[in-house]
Amino acid sequence: MAAKSYRNLKEEVWDQGLCSGCGACIAVCPADALHFPARDPGTSPVSSGYCKEDTDGVPCGACVAVCPRAGDRAPKRMLGEYREIWPARAGFEVPRRQSGGAVTALLTHALEEGLIDAVVTVAEDRFTLLPRSVVITSREALVHEAGSRYQWWVPLLASLKEAVVARKYRRVAVVGVPCAIQALRLVKESDHQLVKPFGRSLRLLLGLFCTETFDYRILVEQVLGKEHGVAPWEVKRLDVKGKLEVTLDGKPALVLPLASLEAAVRPGCHTCTDLTAVDADISAGAVGSPKGFTTLVIRTPEGKAFADLALASGRLVKGEEEVDLAAIEKLAAAKAKRRRKM
Ligand SMILES: Cc1cc2nc3c(=O)[nH]c(=O)nc-3n(C[C@H](O)[C@H](O)[C@H](O)COP(=O)(O)OP(=O)(O)OC[C@H]3O[C@@H](n4cnc5c(N)ncnc54)[C@H](O)[C@@H]3O)c2cc1C
Ligand code: SF4
Ligand code: SF4
């Protein structure tokens, strides 16, 4: 069987418009040969032209091993397998939380108790709203970066290389949208020699529910800036609830129907069928829980341990109401159906 290289990704994923932009291939490439150009990132990575496999004939294929869009790897389950599902909130003040602040509470507990060394996640520049992937190691930074970046996109997992290779962290938690979590589950389960060091360093996969994400340049610069005269520093909060709600500083909120934002949706999202991050240890979303709470889906023994310890510490608080499973399943089915149509 012919060896696989980035050329397979190019033909089967990049050129087909399937790339989600998760950045996993960039993280594990031992030659640092894949990247998104900084000025014009496009929709998929580019290669420098050098490749261990193609150029030197040294067996590699690490990039193909971790790509969630190579082959037939799309999850086929709506809510996925889980042990428990309940509403939760942080037991302390998280001013910028998106839902109940439960994600920040779980991560803060894990960092403060030394269960993890670092968190790989997506932060944003509060002035320009430009998202960036970061490695966080303090409670203060976690609380400061709470909230959802819908104007993702950044190749989040590219920062995994910084955490594991440059900073040598061996107990890393990653917060990611479902496509990133799918890639990380492949990383964790891979027996590829070049991928294993990354897999061994992953301790907690925290998935965020996701219907779609928007391209920064189109959403922030074009739609908000040029079409609606909104500067990024005026935006206090973005929220997607069947429509995009933009809370503004000193002005009435702007509400945009999702249908008007089709052009801003990342192409790779059009073929995505996973709403709830079925490959995560714990998934978190807004739908299904009352206002001020996060829906937590506890999927694995490791996820349960992290959640139970955070609850016992009081940093995470369980809500009393039942989660509305039908509401989650309805949204998951709507996403899967929309994608099949595309
Ligand atoms: C692009 C996107 C789409 C979403 N779509 C839905 C949806 O359709 N339905 C739904 O119910 N929920 C959706 N969510 C999840 C929801 O917005 C909240 O993230 C979730 O409820 C957790 O809330 P929280 O208050 O517990 O998180 P917080 O305590 O506010 O913490 C959020 C954490 O997520 C990290 N983060 C923010 N943006 C990203 C990102 N893009 N990638 C990786 N990490 C990130 C932050 O750094 C922070 O650590 C979406 C989230 C994102 C990022
Ligand atoms: S989906 Fe992720 S791993 Fe696959 S090619 Fe795109 S960025 Fe790389
Ligand atoms: S819709 Fe799917 S591909 Fe797009 S960002 Fe969300 S999880 Fe990734």
Rg of the Cα atoms in the chain: 19
Q: Is the CB of 158 under 6 A from ligand 2?
A: no
Q: Judge if 62 and 156 occupy the same domain.
A: no
Query: Which pLDDT belongs to residue 138?
Result: 96
Q: Which domain holds residue 53?
A: 6-66
Asked if 44 and 94 sit in the same domain, the reply is no
Residues 13 and 147 in one domain: no
The whole-number pLDDT of residue 252 equals 87
pLDDT, position 341 = 57
Residue 72 lies in a domain: no
User: Do 34 and 129 fall within a single domain?
Assistant: no
Q: For residues 137 and 235, state if they share a domain.
A: no
Q: Is 183 in the pocket of ligand 2 (CB under 6 A)?
A: yes
Name the residue with the closest Cα to ligand 2, atom 2. 22
Residues 167 and 90 in one domain: yes
Distance CA(71)–CA(183), nearest Å, equals 13
Regarding the beta carbon of 27 and ligand 2, being less than 6 Å apart is answered no
Phi and psi at residue 90, to the nearest 5°: -75, 145
What is the token pair recorded at 323?
């989660």
Give the Å distance between the CA of 250 and the centre of ligand 1. Answer: 25
Boundary residue ending a domain (264, 299, 328)? 264
- Counting ligands in written order, the one closest to the CA of 208 is 1
CA neighbor of 6 nearest in space, from 42, 43, 53:
53
**pTM for this structure?**
0.95
What's the CATH number where 238 sits?
3.10.450
* Same-domain status, 166 and 272: yes
Eight-state DSSP code of residue 226: I
- Look up residue 311 and give its two tokens: 């609850």
Q: Whose CA is nearest to atom 18 of ligand 1?
A: 285
Q: Does 240 map to a domain?
A: yes
127 and 174 co-located in one domain: yes
> Do 231 and 323 fall within a single domain?
no
Of the chain, the end-to-end C-alpha distance in Å amounts to 33
Atom of ligand 3 nearest to the CA of 20: 3
pLDDT value for 241: 80
Q: Are residues 227 and 273 in the same domain?
A: no
Which residues, at least 6 apart from 95, have a Cβ–Cβ distance to it below 8 Å? 143, 146
The confidence score (pLDDT) of residue 1 equals 45
| 94 contacts: CB under 8 Å, gap ≥ 6 | 101, 104, 105, 143, 146
Q: Report how far residue 138's alpha carbon sits from residue 118's, in angstroms, rounded to the nearest whole number.
A: 8
Q: Are residues 141 and 29 in the same domain?
A: no
**162 plus 299 within the same structural domain:** yes
Within a domain: residue 77? no
Q: Do residues 276 and 85 touch, judged by C-beta distance below 8 A?
A: no
Supply the CATH number for residue 38's domain: 3.30.70
Structural domains counted in the chain: 3
The stretches in the chain having pLDDT less than 50 are: 1
Indicate whether residue 99 lines ligand 1 (CB < 6 A): yes
